[in-house]
Structure 1
Amino acid sequence: MEFTHPTVIDPTGRDIHGEAARIRERGPVTPVELPHGVPAWAVSSAPLLKRLLTDPRVSKDARRHWHRWLDGEVSPDWPLYTWVAVRNMFTAYGTEHKRLRTLVSKAFTARRTAALRPRIEEITAALLDRVAKAGAGGGADGHAVDLREEFCYPLPIQVIGELLGLPEELGPELRAVVDGVFHTSADAAEVADTYARFYAVLGELVAVKRAAPGDDLTSALIAAREEESGTRLSEQELLDTLMLMISAGHETTVNLLDNAVHALLTHPDQLAHVRGGRASWDDVIEETLRAEAPVASLPLRYAVEDLPLGELGGPEGSVIRKGEAILAAYAAAGRDPEQHGPDAGTFDVTRAVKDHLAFGYGVHHCLGAPLGRLEARVALPALFERFPGLTLAVPADELRPVDSFISHGHRSLPVLTG
């Protein structure tokens, strides 16, 4: 294959689903152009993407396997630089990925996640009280409340903050820099500022936990040791692992909650299925993850060697060449008719098959997926039970997407509590 007539990815993410549909129309794998003219292959076929995500000939390590990085063509002012330059399990390959994931898994255990449920319930209840207070008055329907700002955002950021043992005073700065990481149309100055500020916050967090370790994930990551080699995370790996867990640990859940609420309020028949017992809240969560993937596209993977796609069920004769970049187009794959049928673009909580790739697949499947699902299982039923008359405060077509082609959600979600 050759990079001819690529689809230019809109860095502002103004039309995630429209762009995803255009990518799918060009075939299961198609050339795209990322910010600053960087070429990649977007994979929108769910079956092909699943095979590539588990193929050992596909890497996430730019330093070893991306020819543009090896040729010195990737600079720190690129809006996606943080996504490929960090040193953690997200960008690791082979034995190095196994080592890093093992160390993180020792700290981020299923027991630690499950133990968070009572605290998530407490935070949810407190936030719902805040929403109720903000929405009171203003006539029969009350005041409009930005549910993303008052509920969808603070819940996961508070949970991940407490999980990591983050001092409360660092919270506002942390939020600002995470927003910057997902701002894919940022200019060079903003990229550099975000990178520097993020490391400053993380360095302060690590210093606090080294001085006074606690029963939190940061302290556990500092102490984690790989059994076979006896090694710990290096200082850079520790900081970049914390960056990964903070960014991935809250942004995806913010969008999951935001998109689930939006989908149910714009599809009252689907909400009726849940209230009538014909579908569960788990059905809502999985259908939201499929049809409204919180991460629309995830950069980047790289071909370790030439990849004949015909061997993987893709187009015969098509080859992704060694060193070329691959973009996992999750929003496009979630609505792939080949996988989900001709109604793949329809939000349907009664859909029999809930198979999706929203949390990735294979060795890089998101470690935080159980926590994201747990937060949604607590938050969504509590929200709709507390506010059975919840409605959007503006027409749905007036909502604006977040400024990102990676993060898929709304800048605000104004509602009336009823």
Structure 2
Amino acid sequence: MGNPNPLVIDATGRDIHGEAARIREAGPATRVVLPGPGAVEAWAVSSPELLKRLLTDPRVSKDAKQHWPRFIAGEITPEWPLFTWVAVSNMFTAYGADHKRLRTLVAKAFTARRTAALQPRIEEITKELLDRIEAAFGRGETVDLREEFCYPLPIQVISELFGVPEDRRAELRELVDRLFDTSADPGEMTAAYGRLYGVLGELVAAKRESPGDDLTTGLISARDEEGDTRLREQELLDTLVLMISAGHETTVNLLDQAVHALLTHPEQLAHVREGRAGWDDVVEETLRVEAPVASLPLRYAVEDLDLGEFGGPEGVVIGEGEAILAAYAAAGRDPERHGKDADVFDVTRVDKEHLAFGYGVHHCLGAPLGRMEARIALPALFARFPSLELAATGEELGYVESFISNGHRRLPVRRG
């Protein structure tokens, strides 16, 4: 690896955009040290064009079991805080034909038609949450919107979609929060994963006993016609971990960041209210400037990759077996792509292209659902409470303790 002084990633995520700026300043691709023991290094790629080329090249893998020598040699152990991110067996970590097989099986259950059919239910849940806020919090009172709105909407949608019983949703939320906490104690993380697999194992057993009109049942029964194969048991559980966790955490952050951006930039909210921009513009600009997933571990070079071949810096080589970190937050604010004001939230910006949902064969299957939830929830919130004001700023809001998940710890607002 080139640079002898790699940037050390902060496990707490206390300054995601400051760190993203430092990553960009070090070059389109730069060495970093990931949180946890063992001085695990990776290449953080922040150039959106370079990142897109790498994400679509067959010489870049997501399968640690095949292509990461440190994992194969047993150097990456469960004590490492990102272990499960690289060790699970689902389409998130699959490569080549194996990825195609897994994604095909999941796509059979998670269809565009099923997603579109959720719109009336999302509208209903949104109204119920707003009714509850209106009843519980009077004018001038403070409500934590992350807790009362941004979180319960996606967790309820994803829980109903997968048939998760209501009495298990609070525990599921707690366990998924632990999954994204990259500063957590390794022992606590391991225990949380054990509980999570226990909950999901019970869910699968219940759906086998009593199938329902839900995605868990769909994943159990999905077959690959070519080989008449189903998801193996571990693949099924790991797929549920992926779909349920990614299926709500990212949308929580999207809603949180969109509300925060509009309340701290009232002129942008005015653009929407006066017809100069639409709610789609709010959603896409939020995804660009506040990527819900700031950095995503990990990919691996299947062979030596000279970045000059990808339009990157000549002579910089990501060596065979070296790890790659997709730095989405850094890429979204790249000034070479978005100009000198790349870090400014501007719903009228013409070019809002981003990589917040990934790119290429690993592009997020749930992106249409996340966008739909935001497009329904945001206008409904601001129509019901047109005079919302942020009731805290900066450090008072806190941050999700994660270099992966980009959100506030709380989002207190006052009803005007």
Is the contact between residue 391 and residue 416 of structure 1 (CA under 8 Å) also seen in structure 2? yes
Output the CA distance in 2 between the equivalents of 1:18 and 1:78.
Answer: 25
1:402 and 2:391 are equivalent in the alignment: no
2:225 to 224, 227, 239: 227
Kept after mapping to 1: 8 A contact 2:307/2:318: yes
Match of 2:376 in 1: 378
8 Å Cα contact 1:77-1:188 kept in structure 2: yes
- SS of the aligned residue for 1:90 comes to coil
Contact kept, 8 Å, 1:135 with 1:145, in 2: the verdict is yes
What residue is the counterpart of 1:125 in the other structure? Answer: 127
User: Given residue 93 of structure 1, which amino acid in structure 2 is its aligned partner?
Assistant: Y
The alignment partner of 2:92 has SS state of helix
Distance 2:303 2:133 in 1: 53
Q: 1:290 aligns with which of 288, 291, 296?
A: 288
* Corresponding position: 1:336 with 2:334: yes
* Structure 1 Cα separation of the partners of residues 415 and 136 of structure 2: 9
Instruction: Give 3-state SS (helix, strand or coil) of 1:91's partner.
Output: coil
Q: 3-state DSSP class of the match of 1:89?
A: coil
1:134 partnered with 2:98 = no
TM-score of the aligned structures, taking structure 1 as reference length: 0.98
Distance across 1 between alignment mates of 2:347 and 2:185:
40
Amino acid at match of 2:118: L
SS at match of 1:327: strand
Residue 51 (structure 1) aligned to one of 53, 77, 94 = 53
> Separation in 1 of the partners of 2:270 and 2:207?
47
User: Amino acid of the residue matched to residue 230 of structure 2?
Assistant: R
CA distance in 2, matches of 1:70, 1:4: 25
Shift, 1:396, TM fit: 3.9
In 1, Cα distance between the equivalents of 2:102 and 2:136?
44
Secondary structure at 2:380 match in 1 = helix
What is the match of residue 245 of structure 2? 247
Look up the equivalent residue of 2:283 and give its one-letter code: I
SS in 1 for 2:193: helix
8 Å contact kept, 2:385–2:415: yes
Distance 1:181 1:394 in 2: 27
Aligned residues, how many?
414
**Residue aligned with 1:241, SS:** helix
Question: For 1:315-371, what per-residue CA distance to the aligned partner results, in whole angstroms no more than 9, with x for missing partners?
Answer: 000100000000000000000011111110110000001211000000000000000
CA distance in 2, matches of 1:397, 1:188: 26
Q: Which residue of 1 aligns with 2:263?
A: 265
3-state SS in 1 of match to 2:77: coil
- The answer to whether the 8 Å contact 1:3/1:39 transfers is no
Whether the aligned pair in 2 keeps the contact of 1:184 and 1:403 (CA below 8 Å) is yes
Report the CA distance between 1:134 and its aligned residue: 2.8
Structure 2: state its 5+ residue gaps: none
Does the CA contact (< 8 Å) of 2:200 and 2:240 recur in 1?
Answer: yes
| SS across alignment from 1:102 | helix
Partners in 2 of 1:264 and 1:406 — Cα distance?
A: 23
1:4 and 2:1 aligned? no
Amino acid at match of 1:5: N
Q: Is the 8 A contact 1:266 1:396 kept in 2?
A: no
Contact kept? 1:287, 1:348, Cα under 8 Å: yes
Instruction: State the match for 2:76 in structure 1.
Output: 74
The residue aligned with 2:214 is: 216
The match for 2:109 is 107
The answer to whether 1:327 aligns with 2:329 is: no
Task: Identify the residue that residue 187 of structure 2 maps to in structure 1.
Answer: 189
RMSD over aligned CA atoms reads 0.8
> Which residue of the partner structure matches residue 415 of structure 1?
413
Counterparts of 1:41 and 1:267 in 2: how far apart (Å)?
Answer: 34
Contact 2:2 2:316 in 1 (8 A): no
The residue type equivalent to 1:40 in the other structure is A
Residue 315 of structure 2: SS of its match in structure 1? coil
2:18 corresponds in structure 1 to 18
Q: 1:133 offset after TM fit, Å?
A: 2.3
Unpaired segments of 5 or more residues in structure 1? Answer: none
In structure 2, C-alpha distance between the alignment counterparts of 1:395 and 1:63, rounded to whole Å = 44
Residue 395 (structure 1) shift? 2.8
Q: Greater shift after overlay, 277-286 or 64-73?
A: 64-73
Structure 2 residue 98 is matched with structure 1 residue 96: yes
Q: Which one-letter code corresponds to 1:302 in the other structure?
A: Y
For 2:185 and 2:62, the matched residues in 1 are separated by 24
In the TM superposition, residue 2 of structure 1 has moved relative to its aligned partner by 2.8
| Structure 1 residue matching 2:404: 3-state secondary structure | coil
Paired AA for residue 44 in structure 1: S
- Give 1:194 deviation, angstroms: 1.2
Q: Does the 8 Å CA contact 1:78/1:191 hold for their aligned counterparts?
A: no
Trace 1:349-360 onto structure 2 (pairs within 5 A). Answer: 349-360=347-358
Identity %: 74
